[in-house]
C-alpha cells in the first residue's frame, strides 16, 4: 500500500469512528412502570387541568405544533395546536366548572422503540356550565403520546361516543 492510499484509509477510518462516536446511542432499557405512571399523569392532565384551570398544565400535556390533532365528539377536528386556543375562553369562563373526571379501563401500549405509546380508555368528564350539567360520560378516548425532549406529550387524540 502506498503512503497516499494508507493516508486515505487512515483518514476514512478516523471519519468513520468519529461519526460513530456522535451517533445517538440506544437508550437504556426504560423503566416501563415509571413511564406508564408518567404517561397516565399526562393523559389525566389533558382533562384534569380544568380543575384548577391550569392552562400551562394543559398546554404542557399536548404537542404545541402544527401536527397536533384532537377529535372531539362534535364536528370539530383540531388540526394544530394554535386552534386549541379558540376553546380557551369557554373553558376559562367562570360559567364553566370542572366537577370530576375518571379514566376507566385505561390501557397503555408502548412501541418497541419505547419512545412512543398509544392508549385507549373510557372517559367520564363531568363539568357544569352555568350550573347545568356539561358532561361527557362514557366517552371513548384513544390517543398517541411521544416522548419529546424527555417529556411525554399527547400528539394525537380522538374522543367519541359509540352509536348503539
Partner 1 sequence: MRNPFFAGVLALALAVGAQAAVSDTAAAGGQAVAEEAAVRKAIEQSIGWAVEKDFAAMFRLWGDDLFHFWLFSDSQVIGLENFKKFAEQWRDPDFRGTRFEFRDLRIRFSRSGDVAWYSCFLDDCGSYKGKENCLQNVFQTGVLEKRDGRWVHVLMHGSYPVDKVPEKYVRHFYRGLFQEGEKK
- Among positions 106-125, residues that touch partner 1 (CB under 8 A) are 107, 109, 111-113, 115-116, 118, 120
* Cα distances (Å, whole numbers) of residue 4 to 9, 40, 164: 9, 60, 78
b/e burial code for range 32-41 (CB count within 10 A of at least 16 → b): eeebbeebbe
CB of 122 to partner 1, least distance (A): 9
Q: What angle do CA 121, 127, 132 make, to 5 degrees?
A: 140
CB of 100 to partner 1, least distance (A): 16
CB of 125 to partner 1, least distance (A): 11
Q: Which of 90, 92, 100, 104 binds partner 1 (CB under 8 A)?
A: 90
Determine if 102 is a binding residue for partner 1 (CB under 8 A): no
Q: Which of 55, 71, 84, 126 binds partner 1 (CB under 8 A)?
A: 71
Interface with partner 1 (CB under 8 A), residue total 46
Q: How far apart are CA 128 and CA 28, in angstroms?
A: 45
Nearest to 49 by CA among 35, 36, 64, 60: 60
Query: Do 119 and 143 meet the contact criterion of CB atoms below 8 Å apart?
Result: yes
- Give the number of other Cβ atoms within 10 Å of residue 121's Cβ: 18
Residue with Cβ nearer partner 1 (4 or 56): 4
**Cell reading at 71:** 377529535
Residue numbers at the binding site for partner 1 (CB under 8 A): 3-4, 7-8, 11-12, 15, 67, 69, 71, 73-77, 79, 87, 90, 107, 109, 111-113, 115-116, 118, 120, 129, 132-136, 140, 142, 144, 146, 148, 155-156, 158, 160-164
Amino acid at each position: 500500500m502506498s503512503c497516499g492510499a494508507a493516508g486515505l484509509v487512515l483518514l476514512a477510518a478516523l471519519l468513520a469512528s468519529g461519526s460513530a462516536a456522535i451517533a445517538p446511542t440506544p437508550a437504556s432499557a426504560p423503566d416501563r412502570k415509571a413511564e406508564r405512571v408518567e404517561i397516565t399523569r399526562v393523559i389525566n392532565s389533558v382533562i384534569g387541568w380544568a380543575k384548577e384551570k391550569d392552562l400551562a398544565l394543559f398546554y404542557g400535556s399536548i404537542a404545541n405544533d402544527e401536527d397536533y390533532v384532537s377529535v372531539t365528539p362534535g364536528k370539530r377536528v383540531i388540526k394544530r395546536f394554535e386552534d386549541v386556543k379558540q376553546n380557551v375562553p369557554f373553558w376559562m369562563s367562570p360559567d364553566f366548572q370542572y366537577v370530576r373526571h375518571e379514566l376507566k379501563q385505561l390501557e397503555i401500549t408502548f412501541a418497541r422503540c419505547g419512545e412512543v405509546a398509544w392508549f385507549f380508555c373510557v372517559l367520564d368528564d363531568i363539568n357544569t356550565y352555568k350550573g347545568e350539567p356539561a358532561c361527557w360520560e362514557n366517552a371513548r378516548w384513544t390517543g398517541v403520546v411521544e416522548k419529546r425532549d424527555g417529556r411525554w406529550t399527547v400528539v394525537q387524540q380522538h374522543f367519541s361516543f359509540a352509536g348503539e
